[in-house]
Amino acid sequence: MNKHHEPTGPADEQQITLRGPAELADALPYMMGFHPNDSIVLVALHGTRGRFGGRLRLGIPRSPREWSPVAQQLAECLIEGSERRGSRPDGVVVFLCQDPAEGETSHRVMERLRPLAQRLRTACGTFDVPVYEAICISDGRFWSYCCPDSRCCPPEGDVLALPGTSVMAAAAAYAGIQVRGTLRQMEARLEPMATASAADQEKALDAAGAALVPRILDGEGRQQVAAETLALARRLMKRIAEIPRPGGWAETDVADDRLITHDEAAAVVLGLQDRETRDRAAEWMEGAEADPALRLWRALSRRCVGPYSEHAAAPLTLAGWVAWSSGDEPGARVALGRALLVDPEYVFARLLHQACNEGLDPEALRSCLRKEHGSGASAAAREKGERPRRPRSQRVRPPAGKKRLPPAGTRPEKSAPGNRGRGSRRSGQRGTRSGR
């Protein structure tokens, strides 16, 4: 289950009237930007005409014992979040989206999730906000938990409209809104590779860790590693940018993977574990740099295999940041949610995820990074491999299941203002993690 809820801001000003469960079910992927499979989705409604407001998504908990507390938390998050944005909801629409397991029918899914729908209705009711409609979507069919009229909502469910044939689809196409496939497909682009080459990538990460960790622990060596990491990342971005996109997502990802060797991927992944190096890489967020940077961060996320899975937090967070900066909020939430899944305490991902969810404008952060990028002192320091800011101490951890490297004078991390350091962490260790 994805435990990081994903609200969005109010809907755009373009007005489309949706009538009944069928049109609501058809509109869901356009509201979210993807098909939210295996998800609870709550949508706030405002005013007498039911204008769409904030949206919130969470993976469906596997255990029914979690349904009551989760329902209460979701209702609270949606209603209080809407109030912070200026308007308390007048109602809520609930969607439960889950395809059947092996040997299960979609009708059985609907019945199994009925108690969850009731708990969500009750939770919203405790805040005096009614649920106007609750819909289950499973295997191309939908059911209403609220409508008793079998003429419009038959017990066997109804078939969803064919993609691209509804009024909502036409309006979305006119507005330039794209549906990016299913949530599962979006997540799969960011997961560790599961091919035969994963073993070779793990060996490359082992070798890179053995070579880079002693240098990172050394003050001067750390800056050299940072400069080498950023230079290599720039070369990889240039390589990616020079190759035209071959087609869809899958073809593009395969092509990008072929452009990056195991050793190159390992060197950049290990280098990005340093917070300042990662923050400098975050400056590649707009213009001609954004697309190749986003493709690089996704590709590197797929290279964090085996015991190095937690190392993916850095490239995943960078992918989420560039996606958000480029206007792809659904893609940003998926990447940041994945970063928090592999490392729930990764501060940069938590801050970006919260800001994105609260509908903040990324321009404020872009402006800060532009100033940093344009700083003469910073630019000169980068050229020399020096650091313009005060040193930060290092923290070294081996990847899960690997032998710990010998200590070399490490000290507890001193975090930047607003990012509190932690003296201990949960299990699932990693190679070099000098900051978040």
Determine, yes or no, domain membership for 181: yes
Domain boundary among 338, 360, 384: 384
> In 3-state terms, what secondary structure has residue 43?
strand
Same domain, 91 and 178: yes
How many domains, in total, are found in the chain? 2
Same domain, 72 and 88: yes
- Please give the chain's pLDDT, 436 residues, in tens: 444 444 444 444 456 667 678 788 888 888 888 888 899 999 999 988 788 888 888 889 999 999 999 999 999 999 988 888 788 999 999 999 999 999 999 999 999 999 999 999 999 999 999 999 999 999 999 999 998 888 878 888 888 876 665 666 666 665 666 667 788 888 999 999 998 999 999 999 999 999 998 888 887 889 999 999 999 999 999 999 998 877 787 888 999 999 999 999 999 999 999 999 999 999 999 999 999 999 999 999 999 999 999 999 999 999 999 999 998 888 998 999 999 999 999 999 999 988 887 778 899 888 888 887 765 444 444 444 444 443 444 444 456 555 433 333 333 333 333 333 333 333 333 444 445 6
Same domain, 87 and 195: no
Same domain, 170 and 223: no
* DSSP assigned state of 65: G
Same domain, 269 and 199: yes
Determine, yes or no, domain membership for 360: yes
d(CA 20, CA 12): 21
Same domain, 240 and 179: no
- Smallest CA-to-CA distance from 120 within 56, 50, 175, 31 is with 56
pLDDT value at residue 430:
42
Same domain, 216 and 84: no
Same domain, 237 and 122: no
Determine, yes or no, domain membership for 15: no
Same domain, 180 and 197: no
Phi, psi angles (nearest 5°) of residue 46: -130, 140
Determine, yes or no, domain membership for 158: yes
* Claim: this prediction has a pTM higher than 0.75: no
Determine, yes or no, domain membership for 430: no
Determine, yes or no, domain membership for 400: no
Determine, yes or no, domain membership for 396: no
Domain boundary among 185, 218, 246: 185
**DSSP string over 95-140:** EEE-PPPTT--HHHHHHHHHHHHHHHHHHHHTTT--EEEEEEEETT
Determine, yes or no, domain membership for 262: yes
> In 3-state terms, what secondary structure has residue 159?
strand
Same domain, 265 and 304: yes
Same domain, 236 and 276: yes
**DSSP string over 161-196:** PPTT-SHHHHHHHHHT----SBHHHHHHTTSPP-ST
Domain of 32 in residue numbering reads as 20-185
**How far is CA 174 from each of CA 55, 171, 178, 179, 382, rounded to the nearest angstrom?**
22, 5, 10, 13, 45
Same domain, 35 and 92: yes
Q: What type of residue sits at position 135?
A: I
- Smallest CA-to-CA distance from 319 within 342, 293, 341 is with 293
> Is 319 in contact with 190 (CB distance < 8 Å)?
yes
Domain boundary among 185, 203, 222: 185
Sheet holding 39-46: strands in order across?
51-59, 39-46, 91-97, 131-138, 141-144, 158-159
d(CA 25, CA 33): 14
